[in-house]
Structure 1
Amino acid sequence: MKIKLTVLSVFAFCSMFNAEAQKLKKFGSSIEKKIGPKTIKVPYTDVISYLGYATPGNEDNIVDDKKFYYIYLWVPAVAPELGVRMLSPVAKTKIKDAISSSEYEANASSSDYFDTYITLERSSIFTKEGVTVDGAKNATWTTLASNDDSSEMPAQPSGSSYNSLLRYKSEVGSPTKALTAGLYRIGFTTYKRGEVKGTFLAEVAAPVKLPGVVMAKTIEELKKGL
């Protein structure tokens, strides 16, 4: 009886862990505020969420022998900071007002997930007129920040903290590293070389309201929202 109870207890704990692993905390900025004895990161005031599904063989680029996928982002105004985070799998995580891609809708019940690795990249395109497929292809892209594993993110079903989160503060004095209006992209892949497969939630956030932010998997989709 004791053995059976122990097994059941372990099973219950694992089930609880998996359920808790999908609970996202509020996306906090790098701005810290002291509340009583605790110091917390002030939540971002503007968050845009995207639900997708990565399919092997459907990558957008090969970088350092890794298969990279991109999500494009139009930022309409100067931002002091941008935060990016990615969760895989989405599982039962509920996100209000998220952009839901057709790929995600077709694979929402999938249990596939991947070890996320993300980048935030800024292009040399600063006007809506420059946002074209050829323009994005020929633009100069600068990697502003990247992240592999973040302890701030929920663990994956394996129990490993392999989800990602980054924050990037604008470098006002640098023409290439300031967060001005323009075309950006989130790059994602796996830390190890291999296939990228599974559902994911990608979120981009700012500490100020940025009316007119557009987020899409392709340049064609992005242009429809501009």
Structure 2
Amino acid sequence: MKKNLFVAAMLLFSCSAIVNAQKLKKFGSSVEKKIGPKTIKVPYTDNISYLGYASPGNEDEVKDNKKFYYIYVWVPLAAPELGVRMVSPANGDKIKNAVKSADFDEHASTKDFFDTYITLERSDIVSADKVTTEGAKSANWVTLASNDDTSELPKQPSGSSYNSLLRYKSEVSNPTKALTAGLYRVGFTTYKRGEVKGTFLAEVAAPIKIPGVVMAKTIDELKAQMK
């Protein structure tokens, strides 16, 4: 009986954690505002969401002995700041207008999750007609920011704060660090070496409305959304 109660409790905890992972607060920017005794981060005004499933063997690149996966983002105008956050696991029930990977729904009920580690990378591709699969492979990619753990996001089913969030401000005076129009990607893996397996929600946000921002797992899918 004790064993059955323990199993039931663990299942309840795991399911609760997946649900809680969807109860995200509004994605706050780096700008802070004091309201009474509290100081809050002013929410981003533009936000795009992607629901996906990562599985072993489908990584896009092995870098620094880690298996990296990429989500591509087209940003048609310069931005003062970009925010990126990732939560795993994710069931997607309360995420409106999210782009979904082809296999997300199939795995949405699973309890697989991973210790997220994210990067925001910018390429030297600044023209829409240069966005091609081969172009992305040969592009010069610069890592602007990265993050491993944050207490700003819900905890994972393990009870650890292993979800990730970063905010990057454009440095207009430095061309190599400015958020210009162009092709970006969100890279993700695990902090520790190992397999990446589980559902996830990735979001990219900006403090101003930028018409035409799209996000997809592959360049072909991205181009289809850019039309």
Is TM (by shorter chain) over 0.5? Answer: yes
Q: Is the 8 A contact 1:71 1:215 kept in 2?
A: yes
* Off by >3 Å, runs of 4+ in structure 1: 11-17, 19-22
Q: Is the 8 A contact 2:14 2:111 kept in 1?
A: no
The corresponding residue for 2:199 is: 199
The corresponding residue for 1:170 is: 170
CA change 1:22–1:214 in 2 (3 A) is closer
Q: Is the 8 A contact 1:22 1:155 kept in 2?
A: no
Question: Letter of the aligned partner of 1:25 in structure 2?
Answer: K
The corresponding residue for 2:153 is: 153
Q: Is the 8 A contact 1:72 1:183 kept in 2?
A: yes
CA change 1:41–1:202 in 2 (3 A) is same
Question: Letter of the aligned partner of 2:218 in structure 1?
Answer: T
Q: Is the 8 A contact 1:49 1:204 kept in 2?
A: yes
* Offset at residue 91 of structure 1 (A): 3.4
Structure 1 SS opposite 2:177 = coil
* Offset at residue 63 of structure 1 (A): 0.7
The corresponding residue for 1:209 is: 209
Structure 2 SS opposite 1:82 = strand
The corresponding residue for 1:25 is: 25
The corresponding residue for 1:219 is: 219
Quote the Cα distance in structure 1 between the aligned partners of 2:68 and 2:212.
26
CA offsets 1:127-185 (integer angstroms, 9 cap, x no match): 00110111111110000000000110100001000000000000101111100100000
Structure 1 gap segments, 5+ residues each? none
Structure 2 SS opposite 1:72 = strand
Alignment TM-score, normalising by the size of structure 2 = 0.91
Identity over aligned residues, as a percent? 72
Quote the Cα distance in structure 1 between the aligned partners of 2:44 and 2:113.
26
Structure 1 SS opposite 2:146 = strand
- 1:64-213, aligned counterparts within 5 Å? 64-91=64-91, 94-213=94-213
The corresponding residue for 1:58 is: 58
CA change 1:92–1:125 in 2 (3 A) is closer
Q: Is the 8 A contact 1:21 1:157 kept in 2?
A: no
Q: Is the 8 A contact 1:91 1:111 kept in 2?
A: no
Superposed CA RMSD: 2.0
Question: Letter of the aligned partner of 1:60 in structure 2?
Answer: D
Quote the Cα distance in structure 1 between the aligned partners of 2:103 and 2:165.
23
Quote the Cα distance in structure 2 between the aligned partners of 1:119 and 1:93.
26
